[in-house]
Amino acid sequence: MSNDIRINKGLTLRLKGEAEKVLVDASRFKTYAVKPPDFHAVIPKMVVKEGAKVQAGDELFFSKYTGEVRFTSPVSGTLKEIKRGEKRRILEVVIEADASDSYREFGTMDPLSADADAVKARILESGGGAFLNQRPYDIPADPKDTPKAIFVSALNTAPLSADVEFILKDRLDAFQAGLNALSRLTPGKVHVSVPGNGAGTFSGLQNVEIHKVFGPHPAANVGVQIHKIDPINAGERVWTIKPEDVANIGDLFLTGRFTAVRTVAVCGSEAKDRKYYRTIIGAPVAELIGDVSTKDVRIISGDVLTGTQVNRDQYLGFFPNELTLIPEGNQYRMFGWLPFTYNNIPSNSRTSLTWMFPKRKYEVNTNLHGEERALVVTGEMEEVLPMDLFPMQLLKACMGADIEKMENLGIYEVAPEDFALIDYVNTSKIEAQEIIRLGLDLMITEVG
């Protein structure tokens, strides 16, 4: 089929500690939090004060510069605390949950027959706009734009990442309703990428263009799929959205409620109850991981390649479907530079013997396995980025803040997550994701 996407370049990392495919209902934790830093470049303006009562779907804050995007409470309860960091930047908006759900009712609506503007307004007023992201720049979508197309990647290939088919198999109605609503937001198509070798859960979807995706990570990255399906040129906008959030938008139209469901795969070699927990966005880390000792353990909100580090007493991010626990790697290794030694550490290079065991699963830690150096080795980045661009040259252009060169080399088509494997494989240990993020931020201020 011509709609298939076959990826050859990339890297499948096999790690220990996959989540068992068991769904645990965990809908009632004591506290939840929405973290404004999850929305890149959004400056939050609070509309409720500490101690206020909120229902699920009530507005908590809005974006100072794109006012239409409302960020609403995922759960009903009392606004317990607004945690602030340096320069009074809001880090967490913590809500103490009520014993039972109470929702703000928006009323049901059929997105296919309703007016397109009404569909958009419904998504925005209920907080569904927070789910939408924009490419280029990988930032929250601006509702004033009309995207060329909308992309949903309904698969995961990152190490230990959650199985999207498993998460959504009992919410297919909501998923379809969400896709119907999305199809009203763009004059173009809604593209849904589904696992090529999956169970076929998504084969019956309508009003969308389905693409089967085959190949190693980063095949599931929506940026890679956009690059293959309908690449972004200068001046164009497309929107992306995570599959579970499509179902949450679907709920908005089916039930009239902002359900904010988040299914979290607790995984990683240090996690104990490695299962899927169905809870609400912003769940507390401590309650998800249980009584696991977190001494010398890295807790990651998200997957090991793109997630953010969190503490035991913090909360899961707005978007991730994974909570990963891996050991910290703060140990020395004697003569660690000797080739063909320490073969328990996976390596994409052949200077380790791990290539001999393609099926083996590894327990990895957070050691850098070296120090940052000048860029010397060439060709290794291209091996893990299935896009028609030159990653090393693009990184160098970003480092040098050469806007014209960045634009020429394809900065509009990439997001930091696409460079996560480059973070992982590159010999010089440079922070590719950070460099790309800074490059994109520069483009926002200089080009917009």
Partner 1 sequence: MEWIRQKLDKFKEPFAKGKKLEKYSPAINALDTFLYTPNHTTQKGAHIRDAVDLKRVMITVVIALIPVLLFSMWNTGYQYLKQIQPEVDFWDAFGHGALEILPMIVVSYAVGLGIEFAFAIFRGHEVNEGYLVTGLLIPMIMPVGLPLWMLAISVVFAVIIGKEAFGGTGMNILNPALTARAFAFFAYPTYMSGNQVWVMNAAKVDGVSGETILGTLAAGQPVEYDSMDMFMGLIPGSVSETSAVLCLLGALFLIFTKVGSWRIMLSAVIGAAAMGLIFNALPMMGVEGNALTNFPWYNHLIVGGLAFGIVYMATDPVSASQTLKGKWIYGFLIGFFSVMIRVFNPAYPEGVMLAILLMNVFAPTIDHYVIQANIKRRLKRKNEGINAQINTAV
Closest CB 100 distance from partner 1, rounded Å? 37
Place of tokens 């120090």: 371
Q: How far apart are CA 16 and CA 296, in angstroms?
A: 17
Residue with Cβ nearer partner 1 (54 or 392): 392
| Residue 256 near partner 1 by CB under 8 A | no
Using CB under 8 A, pick the residue from 100, 371, 445, 448 that binds partner 1: 371
Q: Which of 377, 399, 400, 446 binds partner 1 (CB under 8 A)?
A: 377
Binding flag, residue 191, partner 1 (CB under 8 A): no
Residue with tokens 């040098």: 400
Q: Are 196 and 213 in contact (CB under 8 A)?
A: yes
Q: Which of 285, 250, 284, 219 is nearest to 417 (CA)?
A: 219
As beta bridge partners, residue 239 has 134, 150
- 351 counts as binding partner 1 under rule CB under 8 A: yes
Count how many residues are written for the chain.
Answer: 448
Q: Which of residues 392-421 bind partner 1 (CB under 8 A)?
A: 392-393, 408-410, 420-421
Q: Is 366 in the site for partner 1 (CB under 8 A)?
A: yes
Residue 415 CB, shortest distance to partner 1, in Å, is 13
Angle, vertex CA 209, rays to CA 207 and CA 214, nearest 5: 145
Among 84, 200, 373, 446, interactor with partner 1 by CB under 8 A: 373
* Nearest to partner 1 of 134, 351 (CB atom): 351
Q: Rule CB under 8 A: choose which of 8, 12, 27, 309 binds partner 1.
A: 309
With both helix axes pointing from N to C terminus, report the angle between 243-254 and 172-183 in degrees, rounded to the nearest 10. Answer: 90
Stretch 152-181 residues interacting with partner 1 (CB under 8 A): 159
Residue 33 β-bridge partners = 94
User: What is the phi/psi pair of residue 265, to 5°?
Assistant: -85, 115
Task: Verify binding: residue 367, partner 1, rule CB under 8 A.
Answer: yes
Q: Determine the Cα–Cα distance for residues 302 and 409; give it in Å rounded to an integer.
A: 29
Residues 206-245 that bind partner 1 (CB under 8 A): 231, 233-234, 236
Asked if 294 is part of the footprint of partner 1 (rule: CB under 8 A), the reply reads no
End-to-end Cα, the chain, rounded Å: 37
Amino acid, res. 155 = L
Stretch that binds partner 1, among 58-66, 82-90, 242-250, 342-350 (CB under 8 A): 342-350
What residues numbered 7-66 form the site for partner 1, per CB under 8 A? 13
